[in-house]
């Protein structure tokens, strides 16, 4: 009660004051009345009563101290005072809140993404006990620059399981990938979901409970083939089943295979991979049997939980012997492994990493770019702080007389600083609230910018209280950053000087110049880094990929196999089936290519630039297998014509090449010809590639220009193109000026006409596919560039403000100069000299910072050398232009000063 009443009194001290006054007045009057009764005159009675009472004001203050919360009262006073100040200068308030709000919004948005993707622990119990397994990448295999692999085969998982004993539990997870799902009972259309194969103990190990039904158990994961049961994520259950408990027991056709729904995982669990939300989990052993048995079929990640008391190092030592043994077996089973690769296999060491934050491809690709963008956002915040600080400084100067008055009336410096910091905090918390709203808008936009149809990025952005705390912390920190220096300076006013005249401004301007220098340094650094990323993206976009991606649609089709219970197994063992499939494929190509509006159509096993690939070692006549694995790609006739890849010499494939006996006709690109034949004159030359039981011989019938296969960054890889062979899922390239929808309709008609249950699974354009490999660059150039521009704008506003202010202060001086005969040009030069002085130091600091950043993140830049003159030149030009624009108006004002009026003022 007393606590509450003190709070209430602090909130509204006027009532308390009235209360106290009334009580004391009552006392005085009663005393006076008593004295009057004793015969005193009224006036005398009142005087004596007051005398007996003592110093009423002091007593009032003393009582007040007991009955209200003085600290809070002071704060509330400061807030009211600040509020009045903000209302009095709405221009300043709006500018400050808006620029700070945008800056706080930018940094909060990026933080929320970084937090969800990189920092937040998995939504499971005791995530810090989790670990994941990995091993060093073996060079010469695969295309990517990742130096560590974490994919294992199912037999490897089983061996590790046996080796780990009681020291740890292990669970296996496939990559979450899209699958087609159809609800059996509704006969509805199929939908795309994200499906993950997991070992039966996965949920138990993670400590995830069911929201409905049961989760997977080790019993579901029976070998050789698991129970066809599925667990839904809560989100998917909500989305597709409206949280209907009757979903339990229903059948789902997942990629054509029936699964029974047995349960729903608890709310908030989306898997172990930040950036990817799983919709459906199924037992790993329902994957195709070939993959399950294959020692070298790497498709699982292994996540485990250590038993209490076991440390990761001990567990690593425990696992290493079986890992080594597995590597030996892999070497034995592999055909003609070169000595260099064998050595890497033998010396390979298993690694046990902490996995509290899960495993993520998204993180691997985007965590560094995200941190960079975070840094850029931090730069914006610094600029905005410096900006507001100099605005505050200017305002403090306007309030100098008031400050001086208060100091001379006895206000403590601490009290003044406290009051001004309260104002700063009010500004920044208002900005923080605005920023929070901005962040809620910006963050999903940034995520959607790096999300693609084939690889959707989903992050738990909104759910985290940590982001809100971050936002508040940033706002508070910002208040101290921009509020402290001006408050310190303003409160240190010398009343004598300030009240007498308006001299003694030099120190204030010096501080202001510091702020501008900071702004210039940050802004220049950001502009230069932004320019580097923009140029880098430009360089990538200018790369000649070796094909023309415009007007090419890419359709992925699947066909029902006539007799196959295993949809993934490749039906090479059935010659009749193969012929049937091949004929159907060529029919589709033929039908689509002859439709009006279609320029050409071609087939391949999978689309380029999506990471899919087949690589083999090359065996030159009389030599061992190559150390490198080269890209092999099966394509139909007209492939090069459809993609506009020039044929340098020789001929294109023909249909009958697909059934040709060895040596099989092959087309190689120039890079391959140069690497393996040391020249382009290679028609008729032969080589082979390993294929158990004996190598396959091929003969070169054509040479094509180099074309990129995985991405635009790496130089063109050697590629061997082989004739198309039958497969039940393949890619159709269509070159046509028609739009994608029209092309899909045409292809759909063609597929129906051919029959055989052919289906279009995915449709996109080649430009989109190529663009998707540039997401990281686009994020950096787009978001980074936009942020840098914003920073530049803020810095320009800051510069403009300071110059306007300093020109205003120097009106008299300018007036004298003009009166003494200074020309306009001289006055302008005087102001501009100020600008260059201000910008020079900041520019140098910014340049140094930018060069350091660019050096550190060199690998994210494409063909941007250290100290690239184009990047530096562009940044400086942009900057000088901005500086001139910001300085132009103040300089003009200075030059047009009317000396008579300027000198008469004051």
Partner 1 sequence: MPNVNSAQTALDLLVLTILDRRGPLHGYGIAVAIGDLSEETLRVEEGSLYPALHRMEELGWISAEWKMSETKRRARFYRISKAGKKQLASESERWASFSAGVSRVLRHA
- Minimum separation from the CB atom of position 57 to partner 1 (A): 10
With both helix axes pointing from N to C terminus, report the angle between 361-398 and 90-114 in degrees, rounded to the nearest 10. Answer: 160
3-state secondary structure 13-61: HHHHHHHHHHHHHHHHHHHHHHHHHCCCCHHHHHHHHHHHHCCHHHHHH
d(CA 841, CA 838): 7
* Residue written as token pair 């027991």: 249
Q: Which residues of 72-81 are buried (b: 16+ CB within 10 A; e: fewer)?
A: ebebbebeee
3-class SS at 251? strand
34 vs 317 by CB, closer to partner 1: 34
Reading phi first (left if > 0) and then psi (alpha if -120 to 50, else beta), residue 546 is in left
- Minimum separation from the CB atom of position 13 to partner 1 (A): 14
Q: Which sign does the torsion angle of CA 862, 863, 869, 870 carry?
A: negative
Q: Which sign does the torsion angle of CA 646, 651, 656, 657 carry?
A: negative
Reference 334, options 695, 692, 620; nearest CA is 692
23 vs 826 by CB, closer to partner 1: 23
Half-sphere exposure of 587 (CA within 13 A, CB side): 16
Within 10 A of 21 (CB to CB), how many other CB atoms are there?
12
52 vs 745 by CB, closer to partner 1: 52
With both helix axes pointing from N to C terminus, report the angle between 465-491 and 90-114 in degrees, rounded to the nearest 10. Answer: 140
- Minimum separation from the CB atom of position 73 to partner 1 (A): 15
- Minimum separation from the CB atom of position 376 to partner 1 (A): 54
Reference 452, options 231, 607, 235, 282; nearest CA is 607
DSSP conformational letter for 780? I
- Minimum separation from the CB atom of position 55 to partner 1 (A): 7
- Minimum separation from the CB atom of position 273 to partner 1 (A): 59
Q: Residues near 892 by Cβ (< 8 Å), separated by ≥ 6? A: 828
4 vs 506 by CB, closer to partner 1: 4
Structure token pair of residue 123: 């939504």
62 vs 898 by CB, closer to partner 1: 62
Contact present, 164 and 318 (Cβ < 8 Å): yes
24 vs 472 by CB, closer to partner 1: 24
27 vs 413 by CB, closer to partner 1: 27
66 vs 866 by CB, closer to partner 1: 66
62 vs 402 by CB, closer to partner 1: 62
Burial of 768 (0-12, 13-18, 19+ CB in 10 A): middle
- Minimum separation from the CB atom of position 69 to partner 1 (A): 11
31 vs 617 by CB, closer to partner 1: 31
- Minimum separation from the CB atom of position 74 to partner 1 (A): 19
- Minimum separation from the CB atom of position 64 to partner 1 (A): 8
d(CA 842, CA 880): 12
- Minimum separation from the CB atom of position 40 to partner 1 (A): 16
53 vs 691 by CB, closer to partner 1: 53
52 vs 656 by CB, closer to partner 1: 52
Binding residues for partner 1 (CB under 8 A): 2, 6, 19-20, 22-24, 26-27, 30-31, 34, 52-56, 59, 62-63, 66-67
Reference 628, options 833, 344, 834, 338; nearest CA is 338
- Minimum separation from the CB atom of position 27 to partner 1 (A): 5
- Minimum separation from the CB atom of position 65 to partner 1 (A): 8
């Amino acid at each position: 009660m007393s606590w509450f009443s003190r709070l209430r009194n602090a909130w509204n001290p006027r009532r308390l004051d009235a209360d106290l006054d009334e009580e004391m007045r009552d006392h005085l009057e009663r005393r006076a009345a008593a004295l009057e009764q004793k015969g005193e005159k009224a006036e005398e009675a009142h005087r004596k009563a007051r005398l007996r009472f003592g110093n009423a004001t002091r007593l009032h203050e003393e009582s007040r101290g007991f009955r209200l919360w003085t600290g809070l009262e002071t704060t509330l006073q400061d807030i009211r005072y600040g509020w009045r100040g903000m209302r009095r200068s709405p221009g300043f308030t709006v500018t400050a809140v808006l620029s700070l709000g945008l800056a706080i919004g930018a940094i909060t948005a990026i933080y929320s993404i970084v937090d969800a993707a990189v920092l937040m622990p998995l939504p499971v119990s005791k995530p810090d006990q989790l670990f994941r397994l990995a091993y060093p990448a073996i060079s010469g295999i695969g295309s990517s620059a990742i130096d560590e692999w974490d994919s294992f085969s199912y037999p490897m998982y089983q061996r590790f399981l046996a080796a780990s004993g009681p020291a740890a539990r292990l669970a296996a997870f496939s990559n979450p990938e899209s699958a087609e799902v159809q609800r059996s009972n509704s006969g509805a259309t199929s939908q795309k979901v994200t499906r993950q194969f997991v070992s039966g103990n996965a949920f138990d190990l993670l400590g995830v409970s069911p929201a409905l039904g049961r989760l997977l158990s080790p019993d579901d994961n029976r070998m050789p083939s698991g129970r066809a049961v599925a667990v839904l994520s809560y989100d998917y259950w909500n989305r597709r089943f409206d949280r209907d408990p009757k979903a339990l027991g229903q059948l789902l056709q997942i990629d054509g295979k029936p699964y029974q729904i047995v349960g729903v995982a608890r709310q908030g669990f989306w898997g172990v991979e930040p950036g990817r939300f799983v919709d459906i989990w199924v037992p790993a052993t329902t994957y195709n049997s070939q993959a399950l048995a294959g020692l070298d079929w790497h498709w699982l990640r292994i996540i485990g939980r250590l038993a209490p008391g076991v440390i990761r190092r001990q567990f690593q030592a425990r696992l290493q012997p079986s890992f080594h043994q597995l590597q030996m077996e892999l070497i034995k089973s592999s055909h003609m492994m070169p000595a260099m690769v064998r050595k890497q296999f033998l010396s390979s060491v298993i690694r046990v990493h902490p996995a509290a934050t899960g495993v993520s491809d998204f993180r691997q690709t985007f965590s560094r770019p995200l941190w960079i963008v975070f840094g850029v956002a931090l730069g914006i915040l610094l600029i905005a702080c410096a900006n507001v600080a100099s605005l505050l400084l200017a305002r403090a100067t306007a309030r100098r007389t008031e400050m001086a008055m208060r100091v001379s009336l006895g206000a403590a410096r601490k009290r003044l600083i406290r009051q001004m910091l309260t104002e700063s905090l009010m500004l920044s918390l208002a900005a923080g609230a605005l920023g929070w709203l901005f962040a809620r808008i910006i963050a999903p936009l940034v995520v959607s910018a790096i999300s693609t149809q084939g690889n959707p990025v989903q992050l738990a952005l909104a759910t985290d209280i940590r982001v809100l705390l971050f936002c508040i912390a940033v706002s508070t920190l910002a208040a101290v950053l921009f509020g402290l220096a001006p408050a310190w300076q303003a409160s240190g006013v010398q009343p004598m000087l300030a009240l007498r005249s308006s001299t003694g401004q030099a120190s204030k301007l010096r501080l202001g110049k510091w702020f501008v220098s900071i702004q210039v340094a940050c802004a220049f650094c950001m502009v230069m880094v932004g320019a580097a990323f923009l140029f880098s993206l430009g360089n990538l976009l200018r790369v000649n990929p070796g094909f023309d991606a415009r007007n090419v649609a890419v359709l992925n089709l699947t066909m029902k196999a006539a007799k196959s219970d295993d949809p993934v197994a490749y039906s090479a063992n059935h010659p009749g089936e193969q012929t049937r499939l091949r004929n159907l494929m060529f029919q589709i190509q033929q039908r689509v290519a002859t439709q009006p509006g279609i320029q050409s159509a071609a087939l391949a096993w999978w689309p380029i630039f999506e990471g899919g690939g087949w690589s083999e070692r090359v065996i030159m006549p009389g030599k061992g297998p190559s150390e490198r694995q080269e890209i092999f790609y099966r394509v139909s006739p007209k492939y090069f014509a459809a993609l506009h890849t020039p044929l340098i010499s020789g001929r294109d494939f023909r249909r009958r090449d697909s059934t040709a006996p060895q040596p099989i006709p092959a087309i190689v690109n120039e890079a391959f010809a140069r690497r393996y034949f040391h020249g382009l004159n290679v028609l008729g030359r032969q080589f082979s590639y390993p294929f158990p039981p004996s190598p396959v011989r091929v003969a070169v019938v054509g040479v094509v220009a180099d074309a990129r296969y995985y991405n635009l960054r790496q130089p063109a890889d050697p590629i061997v193109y082989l004739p198309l062979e039958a497969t039940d899922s393949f890619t159709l390239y269509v070159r046509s000026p028609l739009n994608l929808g029209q092309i899909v309709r045409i292809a759909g008609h063609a597929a129906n006409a051919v029959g055989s249950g052919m289906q279009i699974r995915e449709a996109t354009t080649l430009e989109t596919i190529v663009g998707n490999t540039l997401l990281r660059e686009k994020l950096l150039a787009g978001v980074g560039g936009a942020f840098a521009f914003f920073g530049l704008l803020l810095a320009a506003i800051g510069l403009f403000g300071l110059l306007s202010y300093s020109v205003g202060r120097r009106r008299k001086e300018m007036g004298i100069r003009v009166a003494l005969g200074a020309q306009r040009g001289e006055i302008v030069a005087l102001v501009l000299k100020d600008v260059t002085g201000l910008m020079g130091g900041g520019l140098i600091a910014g340049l140094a910072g930018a060069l350091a950043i660019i050096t550190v993140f060199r690998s994210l830049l494409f063909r941007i050398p250290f100290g690239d003159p184009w990047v530096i030149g562009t940044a400086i030009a942009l900057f000088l232009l901005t500086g001139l624009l910001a300085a132009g108006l103040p300089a003009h004002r200075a030059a047009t000063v009317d000396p008579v009026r300027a000198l008469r003022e004051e």
